[in-house]
Amino acid sequence: MRGSCCAAAFLAAALVVGCSGGGDYGDVSGTVTYDGTPVEDGQIKFEPADGKGQTGGAAIKGGKYAATKVSVGKMKVSVSGSKVTGKKKMYPTPDSPEMPITSEYLPAKYNDKTELTFDVKRGANEKNWELPK
């Protein structure tokens, strides 16, 4: 009985280490600027360049982002930035609250037709993106 308890405990510990031992993931953080100005509100997405693996990403707030559990390897990176271009009423009533209307302001070469790549390593990665106009 004692041997089977020890074996079960060892097997459980091995499974925990095997499943949570870091895997093939890294964390990526840094800053994003466009034409020298921080991207105040946006998204950054990391997609495996070979199409194999998990997509990761994070919100960009105040020019900063922190993406966790991004697959290791060469990633295609897309960055989007939104800015408020107007307001509209939530309901067709005079006292209705207003909500912002936003639009994408970064060129397609940074998002829909991205040209950006980054090689993610295990552990902590820092990447600052200085996107020219």
Range in 6-10, 76-80, 119-123 the model is least confident about: 6-10
Helix (H, G, I), strand (E, B) or coil at 104: strand
Query: Would you list the domain boundaries of the chain?
Result: 23-131
CA distances to 21, 38, 64, 72 from 110, in Å: 33, 15, 16, 21
Neighbours of 42 (CB within 10 A): 24
Residue 62 has pLDDT above 50, yes or no: yes
Q: How many whole angstroms separate alpha carbon 117 and alpha carbon 46?
A: 9
What is the third-level CATH fold of 23-131?
A: Immunoglobulin-like (2.60.40)
DSSP 11-71: HHHHHHHHHHS-TTEEEEEEEEEETTEE--EEEEEEEETTS-S--EEEEEETTEEEEEEEE
The model's pTM is 0.76
Q: Convert the pLDDT of each residue in 66-106 to its tens digit.
A: 999 999 999 999 999 999 999 999 999 999 999 999 999 99
